[in-house]
Structure formats: structure tokens, C-alpha cells
Structure 1
Amino acid sequence: MTPQQPGQIPLRFGANYVPSSGWFYSWLDFSADAARRDFADLAGIGLDHVRVFPIWPWIQPNRTLIRQRGIDDLLALIDVAAEFDLEVSVDLLQGHLSSFDFLPSWVLTWHQRSLFTDAAVRDGIAEYVDRLTRAVATRGNVFAVTLGNEVNNLWPSNPTTLEASSEWAAELVEVARTAAPRLLSLHSLYDGTWYDPGHPFSPADNVDLGDLTTVHSWVFNGVSAIDGPHGPATVSHADYLVELAAATATDPARPVWLQEVGAPRPDIGEHEAPAFVREMLDAVTRNPALWGVTWWCSHDLDRSLADFPDREYDLGLFTVDHEMKPATRELAAVVRERRGSRPAPVSRPALVCDVDLRAQPERRGEVAPGSPFHSEWVRLRQAGPLAIVGAARAADSDYLTARGIGTVLTKA
């Protein structure tokens, strides 16, 4: 599926769906009625889509066994979303969720083998991606599939290289695209791919593979230590990631989906969250590359469940008892203001980045939070929207026009 250019469509607003009862363990005894209550919360604040997470090893517990019951439960959830006019994006390989890894036993213990490099494992994954993608494509309210939630979180226990991880993702994106050409097929990575010089997943893969780019913005990656919770580096971090992605793509019209963003404690205090939501969204929703915003997450995590990092328990828009939070009211207000429209495009300046993230991934630390480049971008960004442009394209007038860039600035 070819996405429309961001400027041609209204901004999208949604939530990453975390069930209010039982977290993702609720897949083990799926309840459509429980999902109905959760989706009523989300539709009630004006959201238009959800991103959902079936658990991979519970659907494919053996390399040659894919459980139809697990697929049927996923389809039932998608149908419940349709009752509330919610469109659905399905993540395939979970993979990694809230500090826990969910991997099937056929890649662990005596079968220990990397899911990125072992040929038999890759064949098994390809079959799973094909089967699940074909199934969800039968539902008209499904618009996208993503290979998995931040699959690069799995690499420490699944050795890989820049070349192998790129080949793995390219192969699976193509499997999904072939299985369901009408759906967006996407690749999702956390921001180590942008900031960590030794990370074995390339920035180029973010912007080359799949039908649009996804970014995940979390201020606990070091940004909040600079000036959180309301400082310019903290509230502009989502916009900074969108700009890095836009500058790294070869296509100046490639959309960027802010697929995860949240207000994590203690970096963003409960009473500080509404203002953070407003300031962060005011910054990022003015970016012409932005496709949409999907909040992490829909519902809190019940504190009766053990061993999660403390910040994971309170990230929801709603409590486990379906109570709306002050930050949620602020998000709902932004959705009402921006629904059906997007800010009018204006010419904006761009700061030249001397680091070629496509060709020089070993230099990623030079654009990480707190680096001289990032600090200069944050300083200049306080005057208004500010693009990023690679040095190689800083004099390309057609490219600059396509991205709405006027003046080109060099770092002082």
C-alpha cells in the first residue's frame, strides 16, 4: 500500500492498546466484553485507531504449528474495534513488551538460535508473518501490520549485525506486503537505532523499509535529564526524532508515524503531564512529515502484577478502573482541535547535519540527546519549527522545497 503524503490527509490520533484487565496475559482467556469496555474509553476521547499486540509464542508455540484459536481471538478483537469505528494496526512479533521478552521455546534453551540469522527460524517467522497478515487483512478496519514492537530490543539474546538485521527485516516486510498489498507494511525500532553508535540496526532501515517510517519517543532516554519535564529539549524530543527520520529518508515526502509517545514517571510527574502533553503535541503536530500520533498506552497496568519497572504501571490514558486522567483530557482537547485538519504548511528554516546517518552509523552518538548538534537544534527550535537537512542535500532546491524548507542554517 502506498501511503498518502502527510500533507494530504488529516493527522491521525490513536493509542497502543494495553488491556485494562490482565495486561497482555488476557490473551490466554480472551474476553470480547472486556475489550469492548476498553475500546469505549478510547473512542470516547475521539481516537481513530489502535495498535494491538498478539503474543507471538502463544500463536506459534512450535515452528510448524500456528494456532487458529489464537488467530481467531485476534480477529475477534479487531471486530470489536470496528464496533467503535476504530481502525487497527497489528504488530506481529511480540517480541518485546514493557521490559518482558516473549519468545517461543523453539528459539530458546537447547534450541538457542538467533531469530535474525538462523535460516530455520527465519523460515518459521516468515510463515507466521504470512499467515497472520493474510488473516487480519480480511478485516476492513485493519490498515497496517508492523513486524514487531521494537524488535531491536531482542538483539542482546539474538546476535546479529547491521547487514543481517537489515536483510531479516527487508525479507519479512516483503512477506507481509505480498500477503496483503492493501495494508501498510512497517518496521519498528526503538531509538537506539538513531543514537547508539554500536547498535546493530541501521537508521537507514527505519526510513527505507516499509511503507512509512515509525519513531518511538521516550524522554527517559536522557532527554529529561537535560531539562525535564517542560524544558525545550524534553518537549521537542518527539519533533526531533521526526526530523531526524525525515532528513535521513531519500524520499522527501515519506511520512513519519510517531508510533509511541508517553508521559513516563518520574521524568514527567502526574501533575506535570497535562502541560507536557500540550507542549509536546503543539511542537510535533506542526511537523509536515508527521502522519499521526499513537499514545503509549491505553490503560494502566494493575499493580497486582509483579516485576515490571515502576514507570510501566502508570502510562495509561485510563486507569484499570476506566477513570480518565488529567493528561488524557488534554490529549482529547488536542484531538478535538486537530481532528480533520492539520496546521497550514509554512516555510521553515533547517539546521544542517554533518553526520550522514545512512552511511556513517558509527557516528550516531553525534546526534544523540545532549550532543552539540542536538543542543544547537533545541536552542534554535525555541524560535519555531526547525527542520534538519543532511549536508549532501543542503543546496538541493527541489528537495528543500519538497520539505517546506526555506533558509538553511549551519551550526554555530
Structure 2
Amino acid sequence: MVLALKRFSLKRVTTSLRLGANYVPSAGWFYSWLDFSADAVRRDFADLAGLGLDHVRVFPIWPWIQPNRGLLRPVDDLLTTLDIAAEFGLEVAVDLLQGHLSSFDFLPSWVLTWHRRSVFTDRDVRDGIAAYAAYVSEAAASRANVFAITLGNEVNNLWPANPATPEASRAWAAELVDVVREAAPGVAALYSVYDDAWYAPDHPFHPADAVELGDLTTVHSWVFNGTSRIDGPLGPATLTHADYLVSLAAAAAPGRPVWLQEVGVPRPDVPAGNAAAFVRGTLAAVADNPALWGVTWWSSHDIDRSLLDFPDREYDLGLFTTDHRRKPAAEALAEFAGTTRAAAARPTAVACPVDLLTEPHRRAEVAPGSAFHLEWVRRRQEGPVMIEPAHVSARG
């Protein structure tokens, strides 16, 4: 599958894998949008370009652009950020609904207090979000280096505070993907959820939505979901989790590209001394997966510890410190960026026991630590292995 994107093909090639970073500003975290400095952005992007990366994913904050359902504020700072990225040869993916970032929810007051209503089910709220999505998407698409627009960062983190059913969550996402496509033709419209959509049997956001909505599948691989407890920070299950999740997504929709949109080194699951080895091992395991489109590391920069109340692991996820020093993870990523990787066929496959498209209530059977996952890890140590979709013949 190849989309007609602006200078940014979704087709895997036999040269370098698409490699980027999720942009967390070094000064002031995302609060920096309230006190925008083009010079600070320019220095941050210089850091990333120096690693040999080719793209960044950026996060405007929804309630600061749409503080009232009928008010859309200028996005000049976002457009400046996109232009600065272009100065460094960086393509950009823009996320719309923040939504949820680093354990904090950012929701406008018009869905809170006595107005409280679900962003997924309330018609007035959905219309307001559609107006916001169209507005920001059209503005972002005016820049030639924007290749993708994602509805939001792990929008399923907004549940259960915002009630939703499987039917409602799918309708919500499908509607907004169409809004983005209409507002930003030629740019990939994407939908992003965290891994409960793949592993939690009662979660109202389903694998079918992740692989059927939008122009490719995005997955977020975090080993603090219990994976690191299976065999330690550098064990086979931990180092192959990204490859496993990409393979699971590929099995649910054969032939559809998968973007590893988030992967990072979380403490204490992976101690600081193991960070570089974790990066190397994770990338070595996933790089030749034939379904993989690209990798975007979380995150570009650490969070200043003067900012309070973040979960402790959030502060140190950056490739760079807040004063722009490269960390061991950055050095390992730079080494990888300088190599050539080719997608390779994987003749060995392990049959998935669950049809994730039709049996989401059985997701626990493929979750980390399940019998199937452990068998896949065992086989993966013998060589590259894919996941064979369940009931392939029944689905045609």
C-alpha cells in the first residue's frame, strides 16, 4: 500500500528505516506553548537532526486552541514550529487532541464542570471537536513537510472519565478521520490508541478500529505494562515486545503498514545503565519486520524536575537532557540511524489463537505473559517469526 503523501512515502524501502522522535520541548514541557520561543524550538530540533532523524511528532494542546466550543484561536506558533522543522530537513506528524500527555489530561472547560459530557458520545462535543480537527488539519497541511495528522495521543486514555461503548468509540474515530481527510488531502489521517486496545478484554476501544481506521496502523510499545517483569530489563520478552506488538497488528490486517509511533526506555523497568542496550536490542529485533513502516522514539527531551506531579518515569524518558546533553539512548539511536535496514521476509509463523477483529473479549490470551506470547518469545529467540492470523481461511 502506498499513499500519495507530500514527499513522504509510506512504502518500505531497502534503505534506512523511517526514524524520528516524539517532540517534548526541553524548556517548560508542553506548557511552552503558552510562552512560545522559536529559538528554543530551533535548538531542540537541532539536537534531533544531529542524531540523523528524519521526522518529529508534535503536540499542540487542544484547550489552548479551542478554549470555547465556538472559539478557535490562531495556530501561528504551530506553523512556526513546522517551518523550523523544515529548516532541519525534518518531516512532521501533527497530533490533534491533547487530550492526554504524560499522565495529564488536557480538556477544555466546555466539557468539564457543570458542562461535563463525554468527548466520545455527546453530539455537541463531537461537533466542536470536528471543527477543531478541521481547523488545525487545514492549517498544518499548508506546510509541505507535514506527512501525517493523528487524531490524538492515545485517545483511549480519556476513558473511563469520558464514557464510551465500542460502537461509540469507533463511530467517533471514523467520523474524525473523515474530517481530517477532507481538511488535509494528501496527508495521512491516523488513529492512535495505547495497548489496552490490544490486550485488555473489556476495553471499549478495539483492535479492529486500530487496523481499519486511518491510513496505517499505529502502535505504542511500553514494557511497563508487565512485560519487563517476565524476564527483566534486557530479557527476550522485553527486547522483543515492540516486534511482538507490530506483528500482532500486522496479523490483524495483513499487508497494512504499521508505525511504531511510540517506544521508549521507562525507569525503573529499564535502569539507566541498561538504556543503550535496550535501544539497540529493541531496534535490532523489530527493524527487519516486513510490516514496519517506521519508528518514532519517546521522547526527544527530559522533563525539568522543577515541574511537579509527573509520575517519576516521565521525567527521564528523553533522548536529551533539558540542557541538551545526549544520553546513552540517544547515542544508540544515532548509531542505528546511520545504518541501512531492509525489510525481510519471515518464513516462520506462530498461529494466533484469537481473531482479534471478531473476538476482542479474548484479548487477554495474547497479552504479555500469556501462553501464546511466551511461546512467540521462545520461537523468536530462534529467529525472526511472524504471527499468523487466526481463522484466515474463514475471513478469506
The verdict on a shared fold, with TM-score over 0.5 as the criterion, is yes
Residue 409 of structure 1 is matched in structure 2 by none
Residue 76 of structure 1 is matched in structure 2 by 80
Distance 1:395 1:122, change over 3 A: closer
The Cα shift of 1:347 comes to 3.9
Residue 152 of structure 2 is matched in structure 1 by 148
In 1, distance between residues paired with 2:314 and 2:11? 34
SS in 2 for 1:229: coil
Count, aligned residues: 390
Residue 358 of structure 1 is matched in structure 2 by 357
The Cα shift of 1:112 comes to 0.3
Amino acid corresponding to residue 214 of structure 1 in structure 2:
T
Query: For each residue in 1:374-397, what CA deviation from the matched residue of structure 2 results, as whole angstroms up to 9, or x when unmatched?
Result: 01000101011110012322799x
SS in 1 for 2:388: strand
Residue 173 of structure 1 is matched in structure 2 by 177
Aligned runs of 1:247-266 on 2, under 5 Å? 247-249=251-253, 252-266=254-268
- 8 Å CA contact 1:356, 1:390 repeated in 2: yes
Aligned runs of 1:251-290 on 2, under 5 Å? 252-290=254-292
In 2, distance between residues paired with 1:238 and 1:109? 39
Confirm or deny that 1:124 pairs with 2:123. Answer: no
Confirm or deny that 1:206 pairs with 2:205. Answer: no
Amino acid corresponding to residue 304 of structure 1 in structure 2:
S
- 8 Å CA contact 1:353, 1:373 repeated in 2: yes
In 2, distance between residues paired with 1:266 and 1:347? 33
The farther-off stretch of 342-351 and 223-232 is 342-351
Distance 1:167 1:216, change over 3 A: same
In 2, distance between residues paired with 1:309 and 1:298? 18
- 8 Å CA contact 2:220, 2:262 repeated in 1: yes
SS in 2 for 1:391: coil
Distance 1:8 1:119, change over 3 A: farther
In 2, distance between residues paired with 1:344 and 1:198? 34
Residue 107 of structure 2 is matched in structure 1 by 103
Confirm or deny that 1:89 pairs with 2:93. Answer: yes
In 2, distance between residues paired with 1:44 and 1:4? 24
Residue 162 of structure 2 is matched in structure 1 by 158
Distance 1:161 1:395, change over 3 A: closer
- TM-score under structure 1 length normalisation: 0.93
Residue 234 of structure 1 is matched in structure 2 by 238
Aligned runs of 1:61-72 on 2, under 5 Å? 61-68=67-74, 71-72=75-76
- 8 Å CA contact 2:95, 2:149 repeated in 1: yes
In 1, distance between residues paired with 2:394 and 2:162? 42
In 1, distance between residues paired with 2:343 and 2:29? 40
- TM-score under structure 2 length normalisation: 0.96
Query: For each residue in 1:329-371, what CA deviation from the matched residue of structure 2 results, as whole angstroms up to 9, or x when unmatched?
Result: 1110011013xxx325234211001201000100000000000
Aligned runs of 1:210-221 on 2, under 5 Å? 210-221=214-225
Query: For each residue in 1:269-297, what CA deviation from the matched residue of structure 2 results, as whole angstroms up to 9, or x when unmatched?
Result: 11111111111100000101000000000
- 8 Å CA contact 1:133, 1:179 repeated in 2: yes
Amino acid corresponding to residue 132 of structure 1 in structure 2:
V
Distance 1:76 1:310, change over 3 A: same
- 8 Å CA contact 1:5, 1:254 repeated in 2: no
Q: Which runs of 5+ in 2 are unaligned?
A: none
Q: Which 4+ residue blocks in structure 1 deviate beyond 3 angstroms?
A: 1-5, 7-10
The Cα shift of 1:8 comes to 6.9
Among all aligned residue pairs of Structure 1 and Structure 2, give the percentage whose two residues are the same amino acid: 69
Q: Which runs of 5+ in 1 are unaligned?
A: 400-412
Amino acid corresponding to residue 135 of structure 2 in structure 1:
R
- 8 Å CA contact 1:7, 1:289 repeated in 2: no
The Cα shift of 1:5 comes to 3.5
1:22 to 20, 28, 46: 28
